[in-house]
Structure 1
Amino acid sequence: MFFTETKLAGAHILDIDKKADNRGFFARIFCARELAEVGLKPDVAQVNLCFNPTQGTLRGMHFQVPPATETKLVRCTRGAIYDVIVDLRPDSPTYLQHVGVELTADNYRALFVPQMFAHGYQTLTPDAEVSYIVSEFYTPGCERGLRHNDPKLNIEWPLPINLISDKDSQWPLLDEAT
């Protein structure tokens, strides 16, 4: 795997190292040793799959607080998504900054999301499917979220938002949460 650190310390884009021949290719998409070598927490508690039939669907911006903070390794396995993460570490020089990455079934790219980062995505195609490897169990009492259109974040989503859950559309604005 090839690791590219984003402008948000600890958040990495992972590209595969294809070993191709006349049958197609082989590539490793998860290796605890390789992740640990670049300082990423490779623990796995859950593997989740999400299917989104409607283009323009928005999911997020989700995170969990202590004692159930989590890392995620996110990959689009069908279609395409615009994946966004927000640094929520108050002591970080990139606090409240975000990065967006296009993940597609064709580019095989993944995004490593560190602890205390909010995560969400918008589907760029219909029938998009997303796989998450998560380091912590889902803990409803520790679940939090950010509003996708919070003016303090200024996230530019590539498409009009056609579908969003009531829960995700009603997370408090940052000014309201403090």
Structure 2
Amino acid sequence: MSLFDLILLILLGGFVLYGLWFGLIHSLGTLVGTILGAFGAGRLFEPIAMKLLWLFGGNQNLARIVVFIVLFTIGNRVVGFVFYLIEQTFKVLSIIPFLSSLNRLGGAILGFLEGSLVMGGTLYLATKFPLGGAFSAALGQSKVAPYLLGVAAVIVPLLPELVRKLESVLPRKLL
């Protein structure tokens, strides 16, 4: 096993442990909050930033970034609060045998799936925008990366739009 594979497995293990520690309800809340926060902020930040441009001295990019972060945070926290209420209700029910253990096991499974998708998506982008010879060689020799890339095939249909957005934002020399 290569050092690259070991790093991938440690990162994936971190996602699993996060899910195991916090449980399914909390982990699901984090995932849903991130998705809905990003979706909502992505749809609303541009018009709001243009209306608040005067607050940022006319700097459009600064306005966009700050408004996106604020909207994302608000959306994420609202969803997080809803899942917090669900989790508190669940804690009352956790006197039922094995229910708490099932919550943690479900969190570990969700952590594995989330980690596989995030890492697979990252590796997919790394294949589209190579980072250099050593990284490409490590990726090519990896025994773990092909599995993560296989899982990432689930999100690849969403990536062309993301890649177009990245190309429009990042300087040409980075791509």
Instruction: Using structure 1 for the length normalisation, give the TM-score.
Output: 0.23
- Normalized per residue, which structure has more helix? 2
TM-score computed with the length of structure 2 as normaliser: 0.23
